[in-house]
Amino acid sequence: MRKSLPVVSGQARAQLVRLHGAVDAMTAPLVAQHRDRLQCARGCNACCVDGISVFALEAARIVAHHGELLETGAAHPEGACAFLDAEGACRIYEHRPYVCRTQGLPLRWLEERGDELVELRDCCELNFADDSGASLTELPEEQCFTLGPVEQRLREEAEQASAAERVALRSLFRS
């Protein structure tokens, strides 16, 4: 049975739509810049792992736009994201959560390790796996998507909407 979600105001939903739009605008130049190395395409789902959770704010957006799928459809079998279809394509792509909007891109973030601030990087194992250009570690900072600021803004928006609880994507399906 589906977990009940908090009621999210129209203003909070509109702010989330703007935030997702801003993320798409921030990632578009990176997608264009790395186009030759990104293997991401419809049906590619190596990054679409099972067990992903999102803030209830984002879950409420998915429920609002995909209620019929969640009521009558079945989740993709365990082992991959519940929202994949039989061909491995995302059934909620237009309304996908933030985490899905940056997958596949070269990501960077800063982490405290003792007294030191260390930069870490990651990307889908299918991307940047060849010798056609700079390795992930050699990319200039501006050629990576920096994690941290958007997550903080998303958390703040979720807290303001009283929808900061984490919700497993799979739990959104009725059955």
Q: What is the mean pLDDT of residues 4-31?
A: 94
The answer on pLDDT for 170 being more than 60 is yes
Burial readout 31-55 (b: 16 or more C-beta within 10 A, e: otherwise): eeebeebbebeeebbebbebebbbb
Total length of the chain: 175
Which of 93-97, 138-142, 170-174 bottoms out in mean pLDDT, i.e. has the lowest? Answer: 138-142
* pLDDT, tens digit (0-9, with 9 covering 90-100), for 116-146: 999 999 988 888 776 666 688 888 999 999 9
pLDDT of residue 130: 65
* pLDDT, tens digit (0-9, with 9 covering 90-100), for 96-115: 999 999 988 999 999 999 99
CA angle (142, 13, 54) in 5-degree steps? 65
Name the residue with higher pLDDT: 165 or 44.
165
Helix (H, G, I), strand (E, B) or coil at 149: helix
pLDDT of residue 131: 63
Domain residue spans of the chain: 10-102+149-172
Please state, as a whole number, how many other Cβ atoms lie within 10 Å of the Cβ of residue 108.
20
**CB under 8 Å to 16, separation ≥6 — which residues?**
57, 58, 61, 154, 157
Report the percent of the chain where pLDDT is more than 90. Answer: 76
